[in-house]
Structure 1
Amino acid sequence: MKALVYNSSPQSNRRTSPGSPHRPLVVMKFGGTSVANVERISEVARMALESQQAGNDVVLVVSAMSGETNRLLKLAHEVVAVPDTRELDAIAATGEQVSAALTALAISRHGGKGRSFLGHQVRIVTDDAFTKARIHSIEHEVLHEALAARIIPVVAGFQGVDSQNHITTLGRGGSDTTAVALAAALGADECEIYTDVDGVYTADPNICPSARQIPSLGFEEMLELAALGAKVLQSRSVEIAMKYKVPVHVRSTFSGKPGTWVIDKSRGLESHRVTGLAVDRRQTRVQLVAAENRSGLLGEVLGLLAELNMSVDMVTHSVLPHEPSRASVAFSMPTSEVHRAQTRLEQLGEEVKAQQVVLENNLAKVSLVGLGIRSDPQVSATACRVLNQEGIALVSVAAGELRVSCLVQDGQADKALNLLHDAFELGAENGDQPVEQRRVSNAGL
């Protein structure tokens, strides 16, 4: 009876739900602000029923009520300074359990049929990396059965279960990943991510007043933006959407306006160089100074970090010009990760015989993202020139296929973001048109 989430061909995931083979299927995910209280939960129920009445089969995914996960984790840390991660997941997962059950009750109150499902009931099977587990498979027959009975399943986001039946969670923003993974598993026609913003912007509009909404962008660009600090979607959810060609529509719960489509989209040679900007605060630069320059030093360092399950970026390796037998390795990482593993980082310095381990805190990573970057070396040059002219010191710069990232002092991050947004004229209309994408019925939304 096991049904794996992922097949070798994305099209093979296309839905064959018993009892309703001709009804479009939409997965609707609602974040914490969308289910922040009973009134908003009631509105979510109404929206789900309107979509069902318009001719769609609907699966809901809900986050915990706004602030609830933080409250639960704070309780755990009041009991013990460093809680066991297995128990942290058991505690944190209860937030989504409450909102799923309340939403199912609200659907019933509005005259529909709703039923809540937790991660172990759908059976979202993950690995055992507590607090940031990855999905292996979804046994989704129970959802097909509910849909065939015209029931709206309300799935608790963010959570799963490992092979030993321990509760696991998928990391911050994990409800996005739950929703997109379910859409892939069920062969849904689209996945709608409802949040408190109208869509994806060229930059955070709270920081950059000239930022504008992007009607549509490709999976690759969205993945880079998410990984580099844009908070609209969890990066792992975009990875799944890209791999299995799940159309994702990011939109506001509150405005009813068209949002941003994230789709499989290719752009021609006339594409703008930069699509958008992201900023990732609370970054630390770690430098292993004057390590022994032995063969495979960089691979050794990255391998040891991987064993710690630590994600690093902006990696550099430089041989000391006055002492070729030694080299320095530097990388950036979230400051929260440094706090968790500072002792291990010091041990890492000893293992590679570094003369010193230097931690530089209070940094932020400001990144430009766009398909045009891969073919235009002027993007890096322009970014560095603009920031230097305005007196913003660059701690480090890294360029990739789709992005240029600049590590700056955190206090200068907002200024840097606005300067680059203006320099690349992202506030002006660039002629991008909404995607010609087949929509499912969504009258009334």
Structure 2
Amino acid sequence: MSLIVMKFGGSSVGDAERMKRVANRVVERQREGHQCVVVVSAMGDTTDDLIDLSKQIYTGTPPAREMDMLLTTGEQVSIALLSMAIHSLGASAVSFTGWQAGMYTDALHGKARITDIQPQRVLKALEEGKIVIVAGFQGMSAEGEITTLGRGGSDTTAVALAAAIQADVCEIFTDVDGVYSTDPRIVKCARKLNEISYDEMLELANLGAAVLHPRAVEYAKNYNVKLVVRSSFNHNEGTQVKEEAAMEQGIVVRGIAYDKNVARISILGVEEKPGQLAQVFTALAKEQIDVDIIVQSGVINGLADFSFTVSSSDLEKALQVIAGIRSSVGFREVTSETNLVKVSIVGAGMVSTPGVAAKMFEVISELGISILLVSTSEIKTSCVIENGRLNEVVQALHTAYGLDTDQTVFVGGPSERR
């Protein structure tokens, strides 16, 4: 007998029929002799609908505490209905909210982080032969306040819970068969990967690949949770996320990700003296604004310009923060730009293979597209470009690195073509 955590996203439980399909799948696993814990998201577009409803009631930004109180109801609907569906199949199930399952977080509403898990009720129910259904995305602070983990938080709930109860595997069920070399909606001949390393998956998730939430991958890596991504609509083998993945057929670039939620801010005419950048980015960090790529230009007459990217959703807030520190930092002006996209290549083999980044720059240049910003690490290279030709860039890069299913893979060399 093995202990399995199964996580189903909103599309997998989007209506009554899909809910019944999930129930059948879970009961089938239990009858095979496994203990099952199931983590579910809100049904379909429920979270978006609740957000829209709040906008009809409250002008501006609603109180964060009340938004968490509102949004957690979506998952509670899912867990109750799934438990009912399992009971209707003759199996025993019990549903728990995040806090009933022992999920404790810090007090940051909307973006809470898990601080502790006390899964005694979950383990007791498993000992009683029950299937345990847990609401994803939510927890409780030490002060007893309901919190949410942010978008994609159900993945994090599932992996963290799997670590806490020492599950044999955590299966993330979604609407695709596994992790692909890129978005199959853009590139029809994208490869499904049999396995991928934690580090590669973490980079892809951080860079925009929506199949897994970055914090879930981070948890899996830190606690060595066996993680499998597979489809909720068939029984095909999925993709295993593990410590080290074999270099599948010599693939250097494992995947291509993109992020459309990108805005660029440029602060111009900043006096070149110690502490200026620290003031700017400390102020942004205090407001929980994540900064990605940072580039500073040369100094002319004691003044410097620098640019950085934030998510488009944080742009307005970031500009307000910068305006608030103008008197202490001192700068000529601030400009911003939206309608940008970050395209990234990821692969553990990049660190020891020459010409990988050069290939990317060459492909984008041949399309007549300007690269606005560049960021690199040992296993990824990212380019910020204008959004209008995203699909064309992703398709061209996918082919150039030999990731199309009928192509020979890229093996290195600055001018080598496939």
The TM-score bracket by the shorter chain reads over 0.9
Tell me how far 1:194 sits from its aligned partner.
0.5
Residues 343-372 of structure 1: CA deviation (Å, up to 9, x unaligned)? 113224553212111101100000001112
Distance 1:374 1:239 in 2: 21
Distance 1:78 1:298 in 2: 39
Distance 1:300 1:113 in 2: 56
1:333 aligns with 2:289: no
Distance 1:271 1:303 in 2: 42
Distance 2:9 2:387 in 1: 28
Determine helix, strand or coil for the equivalent of 1:364. Answer: strand
Task: Give the residue type in structure 2 aligned to 1:380.
Answer: A
Task: Give the residue type in structure 2 aligned to 1:177.
Answer: T
Residue of structure 1 in register with 2:23 after alignment: 45
Distance 1:301 1:329 in 2: 11
Residues 409-442 of structure 1: CA deviation (Å, up to 9, x unaligned)? 111211111111111111146899xxxxxxxxxx
Tell me how far 1:266 sits from its aligned partner.
4.8
Distance 2:64 2:101 in 1: 23
Distance 1:408 1:393 in 2: 7
Q: Is the 8 A contact 1:196 1:252 kept in 2?
A: yes
Residues 29-50 of structure 1: CA deviation (Å, up to 9, x unaligned)? 0000111111111111111111
Tell me how far 1:302 sits from its aligned partner.
2.3
Q: Is the 8 A contact 2:102 2:120 kept in 1?
A: no
| Further displaced range: 268-277 or 234-243 | 268-277
Task: Give the residue type in structure 1 aligned to 2:155.
Answer: D
2:319 to 342, 366, 385: 342
Q: Is the 8 A contact 1:60 1:152 kept in 2?
A: yes
1:223 aligns with 2:210: no
Determine helix, strand or coil for the equivalent of 2:297. Answer: strand
Residues 133-162 of structure 1: CA deviation (Å, up to 9, x unaligned)? 100011100011000000111000000011
Q: Is the 8 A contact 2:283 2:321 kept in 1?
A: no
Q: Is the 8 A contact 2:284 2:321 kept in 1?
A: no
Distance 2:267 2:248 in 1: 41
Q: Is the 8 A contact 2:138 2:147 kept in 1?
A: yes
Q: Is the 8 A contact 1:25 1:56 kept in 2?
A: yes
1:30 aligns with 2:25: no
Distance 1:257 1:348 in 2: 54
* Count of matched residue positions in the alignment of Structure 1 and Structure 2: 408
Distance 2:322 2:232 in 1: 43
Distance 2:250 2:332 in 1: 47
Point out where structure 2 has 5 or more consecutive residues left out of the alignment. Answer: 410-418
Task: Give the residue type in structure 1 aligned to 2:116.
Answer: S
Residues 205-259 of structure 1: CA deviation (Å, up to 9, x unaligned)? 1111221111110000000000000000010000000111111111111122111
Distance 2:107 2:304 in 1: 36
Provide the alpha-carbon RMSD of the alignment: 1.7
Q: Is the 8 A contact 2:204 2:257 kept in 1?
A: yes
**1:68-87 → structure 2 map (5 Å cutoff):** 68-80=46-58, 81-87=60-66
Shift of the 118–430 alpha-carbon distance from structure 1 to 2, 3 Å rule, reads farther
2:159 to 161, 180, 202: 180
- Runs (4+) off by over 6 Å: 429-432
Residue of structure 1 in register with 2:137 after alignment: 158
Residue of structure 1 in register with 2:72 after alignment: 93
1:426 to 403, 412, 415: 403
Distance 1:267 1:290 in 2: 49
Q: Is the 8 A contact 1:349 1:356 kept in 2?
A: no
Distance 1:269 1:122 in 2: 39
Distance 1:112 1:269 in 2: 41
Residues 160-196 of structure 1: CA deviation (Å, up to 9, x unaligned)? 0111111111111110000000000010011000011
Q: Is the 8 A contact 2:195 2:245 kept in 1?
A: no
1:383 aligns with 2:360: yes
Distance 2:249 2:177 in 1: 27
Determine helix, strand or coil for the equivalent of 2:176. Answer: coil
- Scaled by the length of structure 1, what TM-score is found? 0.89
Tell me how far 1:53 sits from its aligned partner.
1.0
Equivalent pairs: percent with the same residue? 40
Task: Give the residue type in structure 2 aligned to 1:125.
Answer: Y
Residue of structure 2 in register with 1:148 after alignment: 127
Q: Is the 8 A contact 1:284 1:359 kept in 2?
A: yes
2:329 to 343, 352, 362: 352
Residue of structure 2 in register with 1:194 after alignment: 173
Residue of structure 2 in register with 1:292 after alignment: 271
Task: Give the residue type in structure 2 aligned to 1:76.
Answer: S
Tell me how far 1:305 sits from its aligned partner.
1.7
1:413 aligns with 2:363: no
Determine helix, strand or coil for the equivalent of 2:80. Answer: helix
Point out where structure 1 has 5 or more consecutive residues left out of the alignment. Answer: 1-22, 433-445
Q: Is the 8 A contact 1:318 1:327 kept in 2?
A: yes
Distance 2:275 2:102 in 1: 42
